[in-house]
Chains A and B, each alone.
Chain A
Amino acid sequence: MKQSRFTILKNEPLTSTVYRMVLEGDTSAITKTGQFLNIKIDGLFLRRPISVCDYDDKTVTILYKVVGAGTEAMKLMAPPSQLDILTGLGNGYDTTKSGSCPLLIGGGVGVPPMYRLAKNLLAEGKTPIVILGFNTKDEAFYIEEFEHLGAKVLVATSDGSLGTKGFVTDIVSNLSDYTYFYACGPEPMLKALSDCTKTSGQLSFEERMGCGFGACMGCSCETKYGSKRICKDGPVLEKEEIIW
């Protein structure tokens, strides 16, 4: 973990509620896809945990949905203002278990961490299938970006306005030739995926956090291997250890 100041390079809407922020700063503590940042926002006591979408030596990209006071404030921030951020938080996804053809499943604000994960798996010579779920076409984002990476992308929308009508599980249930899965999204989606997938997988969870780095036990959950802190021992858990 590192604490440092980042400069906002870009902060732009992707949909009416989802924004992309590109930040410049010390990214050296970010070591794995699926990790998150914890962002200090003036006037709010607790930091706000946001998943990493992509990063390089100098910048980190986050995609966030405006859902409360923290993200409302973030939405209004403009370059070149600065943010105090903790980086390198969480365990992240383990790509060594993916096999040759893993599924990457993102629902709504669970989509962002799948981006860098897809990039990494493609770089490792694997052929991931990306499955993205949204409520409706107007809320969809990053489909083209995933396609530009060269990944196969399948989309589901609840109202059928784009791609398959239904949930990501409706797509996953019809697939058979996959070797593993990675998922991030709302808990009901994660549970449904855990039930309908035929392979092992890794699922990323969300929880209200105090510190974000393992000190306060505010985000603990019980697993088959004992209690785990979502912020430090997670947010990624293996399908087999989860107690639903």
Chain B
Amino acid sequence: MVNTKVTLSGIPLDNPIIPASGTFGYGYEFAELYDINMLGSFSFKGTTREARFGNPTPRIAECTGGMINSVGLQNPGIEKVIREELPKMRKVFHKPVIANISGFSVEEYAFCSEKIDKEDQVGIIEVNVSCPNVHHGGMSFGTSPEAAAEVTRAVKAVTTKPVYIKLSPNVTDIAAIAKACEEAGADGISLINTLMGMRIDLKTGKPIIANKMGGFSGSAIFPVAVRMVYQVYEAVKIPIIGMGGVSSAEDVLEMMLAGATAVQIGAANLVEPFACKNIIESLPHVMKKYGITDLNDIIGGAHK
């Protein structure tokens, strides 16, 4: 027997596998395919104060080893998420969920986080200061240590649950930003969000994505994500949720060796709807193959 249980800020997870926000909706589509209660947890679609339709289409472009998305935080708004989606989610998922919160001002982050903090279904609040697809918000809070710390402080002041700050890779020094969040009281760090990317259609000579640029994700970004998780692990003591291009149990182990306590799966869910199930089921076998009996033994193992 191997142990796949890990703990994030006191919250026990049966395994470290967590579908990433924006790739799993509210879980309903996947709950039709398999029992999603096998997941460690899941991070539901990014939520803002107001309802948002998001960006114009096309929002999706193919890339080698990945894809670009520019959805732009489409969501029904915090009130409707609490009133309608959380009760529906409770029917298909019985473990604590991760609430992903986005905003266009420090006040909005605090407003949404304070509301969602009162929901008993929510285990962790994941504050997204890294959405590349909205203007005057999102990523602009995650590209300087001061701004990221300000959001962290504002959210921590009005919440009781663990707060994880989800960081952007589109920065010069991610370790400094992670450290600033830790000093401002963050309970953990999630990384990485998508890399800014663009594709141009040779037939039209114009960008494929209506919003021109979008977030690049998929297996192609995995080495960037591993490197950044490694760097952040050296800089902070709080737990890390690692993500970015993870698509196999081997990738999960690599991410944990770099320093992640839990691992999110993003784009893989979209092209392989059973990705998380397959990873969870193969994890014990792959652990055995590498002589790992307890996942907790390998967290940050690459640093030793």
Residues of A within 8 A of B (CB): 1, 3, 40, 44-47, 69, 86, 207-211, 213-222, 227, 232
- Sample 26 A-B pairs with CB under 8 A, ordered by A number: A1-B29, A45-B65, A45-B66, A45-B271, A46-B67, A46-B270, A47-B271, A86-B273, A207-B57, A208-B61, A209-B60, A211-B23, A211-B269, A213-B29, A215-B23, A215-B24, A215-B25, A215-B29, A216-B60, A216-B69, A217-B74, A218-B59, A218-B69, A220-B71, A220-B74, A232-B29
With A45-B65, A207-B57, A208-B58 known, 8 other A-B pairs at CB within 8 A are A3-B273, A46-B62, A46-B270, A215-B273, A216-B71, A218-B71, A220-B53, A220-B74
Q: Give the docked Cα–Cα distance between A44 and B269 (Å).
A: 15
Please give the number of chain B residues whose Cβ is less than 8 angstroms from any Cβ of chain A in the complex.
35
Decide yes or no whether B33 CB sits under 8 A from chain A: yes
Inter-chain CA distance A74–B32, complex, in Å, is: 29
Q: Which residue of A lies closest to B30 (CB)?
A: A215
CA distance A219 to B71 in the complex (A): 9
Smallest CB gap from A218: residue in B: B60
Contact A208 B25 (CB under 8 A): no
Chain B proximity of A212: nearest CB distance (Å): 8
* A69 nearest in chain B by CB position: B62
Query: Known: A210-B69, A222-B53. Contact between A1 and B271, CB under 8 A?
Result: no
Residues of A within 8 A of B66 (CB): 45
For the A-B complex, the count of residue pairs with Cβ-Cβ distances under 8 Å equals 93
Nearest-Cβ distance from residue A120 to partner chain B, whole angstroms: 25
Q: A45-B62, A211-B269 are in contact. Are A220 and B69 (CB under 8 A)?
A: no
Residues of B bordering A, CB below 8 Å: 22-25, 28-30, 32-33, 45, 53-54, 57-67, 69, 71, 74, 208, 218-219, 267, 269-271, 273-274
Q: Determine the chain A residues whose CB is within 8 A of the CB of B24 once the complex forms.
A: 215
**Which residues in B have their C-beta under 8 angstroms from that of A46?**
60, 62, 67, 270-271
Tell me which residues across on chain B come within 8 A of A211, comparing CB atoms. Answer: 23, 29, 269-271, 273
Question: Which residues of B lie under 8 Å from residue A220 when comparing CB positions?
Answer: 53-54, 57, 59, 71, 74
Which residue of B is nearest A43, CB measured? Answer: B64
B22 CB, min distance to chain A CBs, angstroms: 7
Nearest residue in B to A40 (C-beta to C-beta)? B271
Q: Which residues of B contact A214 (CB under 8 A)?
A: 25, 28-29
